[in-house]
Amino acid sequence: MTGVRPDGIDYRRIPRHVACVMDGNGRWATNRGLARTEGHRAGEEALFDAACGALELGISYFTVYAFSTENWRRPHEEVRFLLDVIADQLLTRRRDDLHRMGVRIQFIGRRDWRVPRWVVRRMDEAAALTAPNREMTLTVAFNYGGRAEIVDAVKAIVEEGIPARRIDDRTVRRHLYQPELPDPDLVIRTSGEFRVSNFLLWELAYSELVFTDVLWPDFRRSHLADAVREYQSRDRRYGNAGSRRDAIP
Ligand code: IPE
Ligand code: IPE
Ligand code: MG
pTM equals 0.96
Residues contacting 10, CB < 8 A, separation 6+: 2, 3, 4, 232
Alpha helices for 137-210 (secondary structure H): 146-159, 169-174
N-term to C-term CA, the chain = 31
CA 59-84-103 angle, to 5 degrees, is 20
Topology of domain 17-232, CATH: Undecaprenyl pyrophosphate synthetase (3.40.1180)
Residue 244: predicted pLDDT: 62
Instruction: Say how many Å lie between the CA of residue 25 and the centre of ligand 1.
Output: 5
Alpha helices for the chain (secondary structure H): 25-31, 36-57, 76-84, 94-100, 117-130, 146-159, 169-174, 221-232
Mean pLDDT, the chain, integer: 96
2: pLDDT strictly greater than 70: no
- Which whole number is the average pLDDT over 7-24? 97
Instruction: Say how many Å lie between the CA of residue 205 and the centre of ligand 3.
Output: 22
The structural domains of the chain, with segments of one domain joined by +, span: 17-232
Query: Please, are residues 105 and 138 in contact by the beta-carbon 8 Å criterion?
Result: yes
* Residue to mutate, 21, 23, 188, ligand 1, most ligand atoms under 8 Å from C-beta: 23
φ, ψ of residue 239 to 5 degrees: the values are 90, -5
Per residue in 214-246, pLDDT (tens digit) is 999 999 999 999 999 999 999 999 999 876 655
86: pLDDT strictly greater than 80: yes
Under the banding of pLDDT at 50, 70 and 90, the label for residue 6 is confident
247: pLDDT strictly greater than 70: no
248: pLDDT strictly greater than 80: no
Alpha-carbon dihedral 221, 131, 139, 89, rounded to 10 degrees: 70
Query: Please, are residues 212 and 44 in contact by the beta-carbon 8 Å criterion?
Result: no
Tell the residue nearest (CA) to atom 3 of ligand 2: 68
Under the banding of pLDDT at 50, 70 and 90, the label for residue 249 is low
Per residue in 21-50, pLDDT (tens digit) is 999 999 999 999 999 999 999 999 999 999
